[in-house]
Structure 1
Amino acid sequence: MSTAVPTGEPATLTRGVRIGYGSGSVATGAFGTVPGLMLLPYLTDELGIAAIWAGVIVFVPKAWDVLLNPVAGRVSDRTIDPAGPRRPWLIRAGLMLAGAFALIFAAPDLGSAALEATWVLVFFVLAASAYAFFQVPYVAMPAEITSSYDERTRLMTWRVAILALTIMLAGATAPLIRDGVGGRDGYRVMGVVMAVLIVVGVVSAWWGTRSAPIGAIGAGAGSLREQLRIVGRARDFRLLLTTFVLQALATGCMLAGVDYLAGDVLLRPGAATILFVCFVGPALVLTPVWARVGERVGKKQGYVVSSLVLAAGALLTLLALGLNDVWTMIGTALVGVGYAGCQVFPMAMLPDAAAVDSARTGENRAGVYTGVWTAGETLGLALGPAVYAVGLALGGYVSSQGRDIEQPESAQLAIVLGFSVVPALLVLASLWWLRRYALDATEVATAQGGSHD
């Protein structure tokens, strides 16, 4: 990761630049959502890969992505180009990401499950590598194109809004496209459609930021080990990061389980799309509500409440075992309500930890904190499907090759527990670390030499 030092007066960006930058979230949202939702079912139910090996295939590329992020940051730091060090990587890596993404789901009939699994692994690793070289420069851009706090806020507003809409669009339509076409061709068509969506985001971000100012680059911490050593001394950041990673792991489990719960337990057409909308919809609507709750009771207290709501919703989906799809949908919607707060509060607490560290040490290391935070979130979301796959294997899940198979009761139990009890326990366990987090408005203001209302 790196930090930038924009020169001259803070730049006022045009709406076109703001929208252009925000449109990059179309690419990040599609790649961040669809593999977590669709890849594990593709491997087990379409290619016939055993659940445990499918979990490994889903996990390895994301873990590789975590290790590659610091390398991508250093490479983009040293890039010399008239368009600046970051923007060229948007188009270079972004188009490679789209192509590799389409090929993940385009495995030909090679007559061997091992060869087809290798195909998926190779192109998923290529896609993850391209994503690192797109995502890291993309995240670094706001600090470089303007030094204005308000302008960065406007950039983030567009980015978050477009990201939320993309997650909803991609997550809801991917199962519909697959089911509408059917079979392996359904996955192939879905992969191509999502790849086109990624291209739209990539080109829009690259073209839309063509008139953005180019700031001076100041090199930040290098390797992931160096970044971890820096933040390892910040107690409150460690506690907050641990809480967030465990909850990302819980989210990854639930995301991986949507298709299995819909197809093997509820047995309702279109249930995967309905479940996903139930999950994401409240997050789109209630984010401002949680922000107001935080203003009243404090960020930490708001985070605790939203975590308890998420855990309660997850436990409510246990009713899927009784084929009660209505209460399962209600539980999933409650998960979405809690999830919205579990995104708002930690993202608002992260700058507090970075600001207190800066005040205490006299060094601005916000970029390092952000880099480690992103790596932790990526790792948590990658581990989620892997943990879910282990549960499927222990439950005796029967992989297939496009055939309709009635799963044994033990497998159905594993599907539901991985979607409900396991995420709920992870969220509740994360509160053990959160309860020791000590930064509040008074301490943050004192550390920075200021006051608060």
Structure 2
Amino acid sequence: MTSIPDDTSAPLTSGGPVSDITRNIKIGWASGALGVAILMNSIGGLALFYMISVLHINPMLAGALIFVTKIFDVLSDPIVGRWSDSLRLGKSRRRPFLLWGAVLSAGSFVMIFTTPLFEAELARAGYVFVAMLIYTLGYTIFNVPYMSMPSEMTEDYHERSSIHSYRMMFISTANLVAGALTPWILQQMGRLEWSSYAVIGVGGAIIIFLSMMNAWRTTKNARFTEAGEHTPQMLNELGHVFSNRHFIRLLGVKAAQLIGIASSSAAGMFFLLNVLQKDLNLMALTGLVVGPMSLVFAPIVVWISKRIGKSNTYILAALNYVIIVGTWVIADPNEPDWAYLLRMGLVSFSASGNIIMAMSMLTDIINHDAKKTGVRREGVYTAFYSFTEKFTFAFGPLIVGLALGLAGFDQNLPPEEMQTPEIRQALLLGICYIPAVMGLLAVFLLSGYKLKEEDLNK
């Protein structure tokens, strides 16, 4: 490691104690998660269906396109993270990225869901590919510095969970918007109509832009740290980050969970229409139920974590998810709507535990490392965490697209028409089998997580 002078270790600019953070700053910062969640959930849950059933792109090609664009993150995430760590402005080094990330993220969202209906399939696929690359870049520029900010805002162990519980509130709001409003629009305007997705693209872009800009505006007075006079070289940074056993274990947990969650999201709309033979009004109703339930679960998750610890709370949420997704194997068109609603409502507890505990544990790891070395590496740590999120989330559309292609799914027919045992199993692979196995793997990895509150206070 390159040695760093003592004066590089996180000077305060607010003049307050390290645990002092106002509710307005928490809410303002957390509001950016509304745009981030709409971006990620829409691409993860809607893009594959849109590309196959509306743009009529081959399922295998559609899944591969979404996956390949994530290869770009191999370069972009660590570069942006390193850049935001080393930027010297005399003020927050993260906030400028939020501004430009908001513009690119909103613009790319419009591009994706207003893809021109070119006659040639390759032309449609090529346009989506370019739009997805811009989306990937915009998401990275905003999210990597954005997620680095909480570890600078406070050094209090439980305050970090509080910050991310506010973030969970906005993610829940995004789930309400995307989960209820989007399927309602598609059901009313036509789920196979190009214009339906154009409305979603423009409306979603407005929400994304406003929420991200609000995070930029309201964090002007948030506590931040400054880059040191001398910063380690990139290769040294990478070596240090990947030698942190707590971080590597947390990355493994997130990778396992998100492969399962992404597979479930990509298969979700197909499963509802094809296997359950329901319409999108049920999905809209689910969004109305799940959003408020997530808001209720967020403070409960924080309360539980204060009593049994963060990793144990995370394990509890992960086990709940495994049990619930396992029940999809017995689902059929004859089951009542309340069974679908119950499953999705219980999954919202797992979502709250996953999001709040994972991010709280990440900020613990970052601050523990800073105390040990005197070097702030929020951007580098967050970059690889963000890359893991996006890269593993890309496996969902890839897996489901390949499975549907091998099962003989015809992209030129309405998705509910082709009911074969092969298609049912392809969709169960995405919504049940992979999520359950990956969830169990996450529990196994979490059982070995050892960083506790007392370690941070040494």
Q: TM-score range by the shorter chain?
A: 0.7 to 0.9
SS in 2 for 1:400: coil
Q: Which runs of 5+ in 1 are unaligned?
A: none
1: CA distance between counterparts of 2:323 and 2:179? 23
1: CA distance between counterparts of 2:141 and 2:368? 30
Residue among 268, 281, 299 paired with 2:310? 299
2: CA distance between counterparts of 1:372 and 1:27? 21
- CA, structure 1 residues 366+97, in 2 after alignment: closer, same or farther (shift >3 Å)? closer
Counterpart position of 1:248: 258
1: CA distance between counterparts of 2:131 and 2:434? 30
2: CA distance between counterparts of 1:411 and 1:59? 21
Residue among 287, 295, 301 paired with 1:290? 301
- CA, structure 1 residues 320+151, in 2 after alignment: closer, same or farther (shift >3 Å)? closer
CA contact (8 A) 1:398 1:407 kept: no
2: CA distance between counterparts of 1:152 and 1:341? 14
CA contact (8 A) 2:160 2:360 kept: no
Residue among 44, 52, 69 paired with 1:44? 52
Counterpart position of 1:383: 395
- CA, structure 1 residues 133+352, in 2 after alignment: closer, same or farther (shift >3 Å)? closer
SS in 2 for 1:312: helix
Counterpart position of 2:283: 272
- CA, structure 1 residues 429+210, in 2 after alignment: closer, same or farther (shift >3 Å)? closer
Residue among 166, 169, 175 paired with 1:161? 169
Counterpart position of 1:320: 331
Counterpart position of 2:320: 309
Q: Quick check: 1:370 aligned with 2:354?
A: no
Q: Which runs of 5+ in 2 are unaligned?
A: 1-7
- CA, structure 1 residues 75+362, in 2 after alignment: closer, same or farther (shift >3 Å)? closer
2: CA distance between counterparts of 1:63 and 1:391? 21
2: CA distance between counterparts of 1:304 and 1:77? 32
SS in 2 for 1:321: coil
Aligned pairs (5 A) from 1:414-453: 414-437=426-449, 439=450, 441=452, 445=454, 447=455, 450=458
Aligned pairs (5 A) from 1:4-83: 5-7=11-13, 9-10=15-16, 17-76=25-84
Query: What is the TM-score when the length of structure 2 is the normalising length?
Result: 0.84
SS in 2 for 1:419: helix
Query: What is the TM-score when the length of structure 1 is the normalising length?
Result: 0.84
Letter aligned with residue 387 of structure 2: A
Q: How many residues of Structure 1 are paired with residues of Structure 2 in the alignment?
A: 443
CA contact (8 A) 1:23 1:205 kept: yes
Q: Quick check: 1:101 aligned with 2:109?
A: yes
- CA, structure 1 residues 265+345, in 2 after alignment: closer, same or farther (shift >3 Å)? same
Q: Quick check: 1:229 aligned with 2:235?
A: no
Q: Quick check: 1:189 aligned with 2:195?
A: no
Counterpart position of 1:263: 273
Aligned pairs (5 A) from 1:338-377: 338-354=350-366, 357=369, 365=377, 368-377=380-389
- CA, structure 1 residues 136+361, in 2 after alignment: closer, same or farther (shift >3 Å)? closer
Deviations 1:397-453 (A, max 9, x none): 22127686334331123113321122111111233323333x164xx52x4565xxx
Q: Quick check: 1:90 aligned with 2:98?
A: yes
Q: Quick check: 1:334 aligned with 2:340?
A: no
What percentage of aligned pairs have identical amino acids? 26
Deviations 1:292-327 (A, max 9, x none): 333444433333332221111001122223542543
CA contact (8 A) 1:47 1:401 kept: no
- CA, structure 1 residues 188+407, in 2 after alignment: closer, same or farther (shift >3 Å)? farther
Residue among 126, 135, 145 paired with 1:118? 126
Counterpart position of 1:398: 410
